[in-house]
Structure 1
Amino acid sequence: MFNLPFLHKNAAETERYIFILFLSGEKLYGFAFEEANSQNQSAIYQEAVDPFLKESAKKVEKIIANCERDLGENVYLKRTVLVLNSLYTTESGAIREDFLKEIKKLLKTVDLDNLGYLNFYEAVLHNFEKEAAYLFLEESLYDYSLYEIEKAAIKNIHKTAKAQEFGETIKDLNKQLDDKSEIIAWLGNAEEKPDLKIKHLIKESDLQQLLVKVYFKDKQSVAVEPEKEELKSGVLPLAPGFGTELSSVPSQSFTQPKKISFKLPSFNLKIKFPKVSRQVLWLGIPILILSLGLLYFIFFHQAVITLQTKKENFSSNIEFTVNSKSEFVKAYETRVSLTVSEPTTGEKVTGEKAKGEVTIYNGLFETKELAEGTRFISADGVVFVINAAVSVPAATTSANLGEGLVTKAFGKKNIELTALNIGAEANLDSGAKLTTEDFSDDEFYAIANNNFSGGFKKTVAVFDNADAVNLDKKALVMSKNKLQNEFKKTRGDNDVLFAQTISTTGVKKDYSAEINEEVNRVTLSYEGQVKAFYAPYVRLAEMVERQKLKDKEFVQDSFELSKIKLISQKNGNYLYSAIGRGQVQNFIDRNILIDKLKGKLKGQAQKILDEERNITSFQIQTKPLPLPYLPLMPKAIKFEFTK
């Protein structure tokens, strides 16, 4: 006895729920609901995202986790319907080739099963089908799309590129609008709203109800045969698009069974096959061969079509402004923490003043009061001062009557003198004479009682303001270099960094010494944010296409921007000039072409390609077997362009 493995509960729980993911450009919106009971639904969640879906998988996983939490335990979302705005699709409704790869990668990374996709304007058509005629205005990253709709059908599409000045964009829109027309608008990403008479502005809070409604409306529109009740689960609108691998028309049913693989335990069993009649055998062999051929044709058959198009070289001078509002510009930011050490260049003279004791001699017949700071000068011109006020006694006389002589005795006072300035020249020898400017040198003077000492002078290195400025500049250069090196590693050569826009914010600086402190070397600890503007090459190419090209596009990997030069800078606006060059060709819609070619004979495919005016020559190769048919699966048809 042994137990067969049972299917995990996750598989059953996953089948009951639908996850809606709306790619609107710079935001992702997502919510989920139970297919059998639409009232059981999660809240709608949104995340800011790069419009080109770089590093968006984590954002989608966060939305899914929130939705699963809202719906309860044991809910695992996989079955996904994509809703795309006009940024991601051509006017025919097909997904643009440059976004298809990123969308595939996103769904594969997050492990979602795609059931099909829906253009956002189709959701509007279904929700406002009772309106006889109206205009639908859809805002995307680079432009506004204006759909003229009558009786739930699109009659015309106008596109208005966003100008540098928002007022110019409004003027262009107003030229296309009829004052009598009813306007329905989706402006979910716009920072500035156009001043238009909008009857119904679709808000972010309306999305959930709008998308659930169109989902169930399309379910009811499917014709169901009585014996095929399993088809009642519904379909998506048949917009040109992709199936579970983003390359075919959307799936016809949301409830296709999952393929669940498992291994049984191995056993040494002898199995006896029943005898089969010759008639059954002859009937089974052709069926087997036909089945194998069908499997090959669906899953293994491929076609590579090499195209030669009309190309021409393009080269033109362009000017563009880089600032925080430029549509093609993004900000790159990193944090720096570094230290800079440099020798000090400031100088300071330091030393000590010489000191010594003198005897002051007063030959005048009156007492002299000397104030603190009274100056005495040596024979070499060195100035000394007294440290405290002093009184010098007057001179006296004595007479020798026998000899008839009168003798004068000088008044004396011992006191300490200190040199006025630092330096060794004030170290006087004992017996040196000092005089004052106020009295005669013979009547009032001082004599050094011993050698003066302690006087010296020297020049030392100190940290000054110039050193601080030099350290700041060096730290800034190192910060810029760090940002540029990190940018090159993380972004590669596919983006252009505008080095002149590098700036720092929130910088903290800590010097190892104070200004005028006596040190030979100073270290600066520097920490803060470094930021610069950059532009992906694909966005720069699109900018040049909008400025210089009309119905043409750059050949893949041929666009380059050279001689980038800053012309002027003012108030955070950087005006650049550059030369844009590359090879251009007339625009070819790959999705529409694949839709025409799939399943065709080689001869039929050649006629279709011959009718394409933009294609000058081509070569069709089928593999691994050289069959005269093109694959049925769009993903199996690949285009290669000769350079």
Structure 2
Amino acid sequence: MLNFLSKKKDAVEQIAGIVLRHESGLALVIKKNNQRHSSQLIDQREFKYSNGWENLTYDIDEVLFTLEKNHNFSLKKTVFFLYSHLIDSRSHSIKDSYLEKINSLIKENQLDAIGYIDYTEALAKYLQNKEQSPLTALIVEIDVPAITASIYKGGERVFSESVGKTANIAADLEEICKKTQKDTVLPSRIIMYDSSELENESTALITHKWSEDLFIQMPRVEVLKPEEVTDALIYSFDDHPGARIEESPVQNQKTDEVPVPKENDSEGDMESESVAGFVIGKDIKEMDIRQDDKKTETVPDEAYNEDVDDSDGEVVDSHTSRPFSEKISAFFSHFSINSMNIKNKNIFIILIALAVIGGILASTLLLFHKAILTIYYQPETIEKEIEINSGIKIEKSTEKISTSESGEATGTKSIGDKAQGEVTIFNAETSEKTFKKNTQLKTSDGFIFLLSSDVKAAAAERKVTEDGDILTTTSKTKTKAAAQDIGQKYNIKDDVKFTIEGISESQSFARSTGAFSGGTEKEIQVASREDQDKLKKKIDGVIKKEAEKIIRSKQTDGKIISDLTETKVGDEKFSAEIGEEAKNVKLSISAEVSFYSYHEEDMKNLLLEQLTSVIPDGYTLDTSSISYTLADAKKDEKGKITLNISAKAQPKLNIAEQEVFSSIKGHSVSSIRSIIENKFKARGYKINFEPSIPILNSFIPLFSKNLKINVEPFQ
């Protein structure tokens, strides 16, 4: 029967995987598909502990915040991957000293802890699935303070032990192996893993001469690469047989209460509640930190660098949620100056020592305890189209431009003299004939000459011969003529016959009387129309550039409205007219540029007034957060100007920096998240200490001048 009242899991959820080693950790972002029962690694980030396990709460908070910011989603559900030497090999539970720290960081960072996974168990399950056969091997885990060896036979872990790590890793492993039961045959396969490469360590094991009592044959040594170890962790997190994670039940108890196990709880019961290193049906933060005091491993406590109170053997948590200022006040409240006798030398020395210590402490907090707190808020964008035809002063300015351009004359022209000479006109008509000036005379070669003046040719004489024939004697009249065009080709020879324009040769004709002379011709360079047009086009570009130059120089006084800029060209003057002889042609011109401008400050103040009504609640806007583009500008016949503006603004979350400081000063770094996000409605924050001093990095500065607060949009 289906339970319809049970809580349904999200189809896809993001889970934080925290790998905890002795001095460093690894944060994983796991995408879990609850329908397909599969998990996928989407990001990972190594991080060093800033002060061992003392500041682990802050270190994890910082790395999770960075991952949340990069992926823009929240990471609350968390699974812990623990090195085996952090787990008691007999009770299969986290050692007390580490469990207390883990409980603290879960509570301080408000994490929803699913459970934890034993590194070695995860690797064993992964290798069995990969090789499709029960695992028989000696898995060796190497961390800074300890080395742990686990023996697997037929897929089951039959032995696990840890010892303090020395410089001789082979000797350390041999020491562990000797603790196995007598006549135990060790697997001839050794698998090693760490957070880095193990080239030197693997070489040491390969070259070591093992006792024949431990290995029947020389063991084969394998090193798992870090990426393969990560794959094993993700695989172990999937819903595969033997590695299924169940939901943690809701506990009706206060978060600071720790349940105490019943006296009749047995070791077998504890084993039945865990599968492949997962805590089944329990939350880490609900586990009892006061577990069995029995120590099953030979690693000395000092190897783990823990803070232990020798008086009762209990681990002392130096991390507290009280502001540091309260700690200082509580410390000095134990001393009463009135009860001291100044005359006593010893008391006087104590007073001086306390004063020096107090001065050093105060100076340290004042001079070196500094931080930069960046508060991120959810950005809001305002966009609005605004038409402006009043409310802003628009000024008109006029500038004159005088310039000139010149170029080489490219036109050509032929010049010279016309050939001149004397001609004789022969008239065969019986009547007198008049030939006007410029009457054309044409040679057989087509050369044309013109009469230089009007000429009257006498009538021809006719006589009847004795034979009865009529004899006509033409009249001969000499006159001047000149060639129609210039050129040497018109210098014709003597006795060249001409036909007369419009008259038959039988009536009249002419001949040159002597050779013609004086005809010359040469080509000269002149100005052409193309030269003038080219200069006009060139000077138009010069005027435009000069106008732009003037506008740029005026931009310092105001913003120019380019659409309204006008250029009026005045008189043009060329140095040579078309066809006039010239080597170069120069054009001189004058123009007048008119442009309109406004002041940037006036425009932004006007836009601020227009945008005030659409600012979201809790946000403020100033002119520095406003940007705009001038989409269009027009001027009507009466000179009225209308501007169309596309405005865009980024309002800022209204956070009082002094109020923020008053709310968090002296608080532990891990406790300020809820204050910043809930009280000030922020998206998140980031804090950097400069200089970075591990002890001081755990709480907020006490002096306002030592805490710089920046408020920025979340990108």
TM-score bin (small chain) = 0.3 to 0.5
TM-score for the superposition, normalised by structure 1: 0.39
TM-score for the superposition, normalised by structure 2: 0.36
Which has the larger Rg? 2
> Going by fraction, where is strand more abundant, 1 or 2?
1
